[in-house]
Amino acid sequence: MIIVILLLTTVFAFPKYKQNLFVTKPDSLKKLAYQLSMASDLQVDVDQDQVCTWLKEYTLTTAQDAYYAKLASSFLEECQVDYNIDLPMIDQDDFESIYYNSLLNGQCPKLEYFITAGGAAKPQLKKQDDSYKTAAQVYHLATICNDNKVHEAIQEAIFNFQELYDGVSGVLDRDNSAAVTASLLYSFFTFSITNLHPQLQEILQNQIYQQTIINFLFQRTTVLGSIDEQYWITKLFQLTQVNSIIYPIFQDYYLVNKGKALINIKFVNFKGEKVQPTEVKAFINNENYTYTPIKSKEFSGYFEVSQVGSLPFELHFPNYVFKYTVKILHEIEIEEVMFDVVDSKTSKPNFHHSVENGEEYPAILNANEKSFLHVIIKTKKQVKSQVAIRLVHPKHPSATTQVFAEYDTKRKIYYGIIDFGDPDHVTPLNAIYQVELLLADSNVLPKRWSFLKIDTKFQAQTTFQNDNYYKLPQEIVHQFNQEQPEVPFLFVSFFVVIIVIAFVFFLRILSNLNLSFDKLPKDNSTIVYLFLALIIGLFVVLTLFWIKLNLIETVTVLGILSVPLVVVGNYALLALRKSEKLD
């Protein structure tokens, strides 16, 4: 059973390329030559007389200019352009100059001098702004030089291509590097690999076709990049090696029917044309599956599997491996839904109302705050999934509620109950509710089925605002505690002076008493010792005032301490007077 089919949009960007060919005079000789090459490959008609006039207007000063003039004139049948100019002496450390001189005159240098064993250009070369660009130029020369025999050093560089390959993979999303990547791919695709080492042949036949390269080609054909990129992309798609690459397209997910699922797949080329692969294998968790081709407009064929869930799916082609995650779901077949509305919790439902899969009960049932809705769901096969019964209000979405149905292992049914008198589950609103059955699970096809309508009549109906429209919440105004004002300096100083004066007066009084341990009464000395302890406590409080306590705390403690100090002090002084009279 097919649910959704992914449609392939045209990935070819050549219509964009065609629209931009010779709209106006190209601003450079290279752009003119590249547009002529693209027009030839894409079979676009060109006003050769006009283009020839433009070509003759350019001034040739370098080997690069001469090469592009030669390239452009090769596509113009009746346009004679003199590109034989006096060229300056070639700088052996300037590979770009060597590159264009080689393309112009067919003189092939020793390419191993310019490239490292890792695949990139050697760092001592002048004008080395982009190592990969120079490496791409070296590989391009390797495809046309030395009678199709590739230098051993170039073979070694390609064999150690991983450094460069990682670089290509890392710059696929950068527009300024796409032209270099396309140039590299074109060079590798056009190598005469029959003259290469067998291990190197294997690398070119396998690694180049990895999925990152395919994704790169798909991506870059959907945008209009620089003229360099357009040129190399166009040349790439003239190669049989590229046009023979096929790409699989899958459904969103697949359904299990009688224990089997068909993974329908469509193979297309880069033009979006449906093709049939000559050799393809599929693996899921290292288990091999056989491809079955079919005659269909939508698909090329299918793989039959029996597993369920999100599965790692690997397609093995002769030249590369394509990895994909397929989602295979069960479809729960519902045999019957039976239901009944009873007037109390103790009443037993008769279940004389029922519907089959997809049907809606023709009559509308009534319910109030004393009613209970009992629902039984029968399925052909028990599946571990979430089954819920939803009560949908026609106007207020927030008044919608749902309860989960539990599976009865003895009766092999799902059972759910909705209590209309429970305000935590059902909002008391008079309306005609839709009753829906919901099935959901990671390995199950989601199902939503409206099978019943219930008209509610509540005696005490709640008031409810319309929540169909979004309302901005009221602004929350925060109340911050205001900072307490500091106590005025003069106020503090006044109380400090008073405390100091009182303390000095206190010391003066003590000195007038002529106190000594010899004068302590022998029969009632406890009260005197307590009085002395309170005086020491007074000194401690005053000391803490200068170290730790504030004014309010000090006054509070002194006020509390003053009461026992006065009382005990009075008794202590009386005891001392009595002791003096006795002496």
Mean pLDDT score, 201-214: 57
Top pLDDT among 583 and 460 is at 460
Residue (of 150, 124, 62, 59) closest to 99 by Cα position: 62
pLDDT band, very low/low/confident/very high, at 195 (cuts 50, 70, 90): low
Cα separation, 476 vs 479, in Å, equals 10
pLDDT higher than 80, residue 272: no
The more confident residue out of 315 and 177 is: 315
Residue 487 has pLDDT above 50, yes or no: yes
Residues 19-34 have pLDDT tens digits of 767 767 888 889 998 9
pLDDT score for 384? 65
Specify the pLDDT at position 382.
65
pLDDT-based confidence at residue 11 (cuts at 50, 70, 90): very low
Q: Which of 81-85, 204-208, 475-479, 556-560 has the lowest mean pLDDT?
A: 204-208
Mean pLDDT of 222-241: 82
pLDDT tens by residue, 316-349? 887 677 788 888 888 888 888 999 999 888 888 9
Tens of pLDDT, residues 511-543: 776 666 666 666 667 777 787 788 888 888 888
- Cα(110)–Cα(88) distance, rounded to whole angstroms? 20
Asked if 270 and 222 count as a contact pair (C-beta separation under 8 A), the reply is: no
Decide if pLDDT at 433 tops 80: yes
Q: What is the pLDDT of residue 176?
A: 52
- Comparing C-alpha atoms, which of 137, 139, 160 is closest to residue 150? 139
Does the pLDDT value for residue 219 go beyond 90? no
**pLDDT for res 2:** 25
Cα separation of 288 and 316, whole Å? Answer: 10
pLDDT at res. 205: 57
Query: Is pLDDT at 114 greater than 50 in this prediction?
Result: yes
d(CA 183, CA 283): 34
Query: Helix, strand, or coil here: 10?
Result: coil
Give residue 337's pLDDT.
92
DSSP string, 20-35: TTTSS--SSHHHHHHH
Is the pLDDT at 134 greater than 80? The verdict is no
The answer to whether residue 563 scores a pLDDT higher than 90 is: no
Confidence of residue 546 (pLDDT cuts 50, 70, 90): confident
The model's confidence at residue 148, banded by pLDDT at 50, 70 and 90, is very low
Q: What percent of the chain stands above pLDDT 90?
A: 6
- Print the SS3 string covering 463-487: CCCCCCCCCCCCCCCCCCCCCCCCC
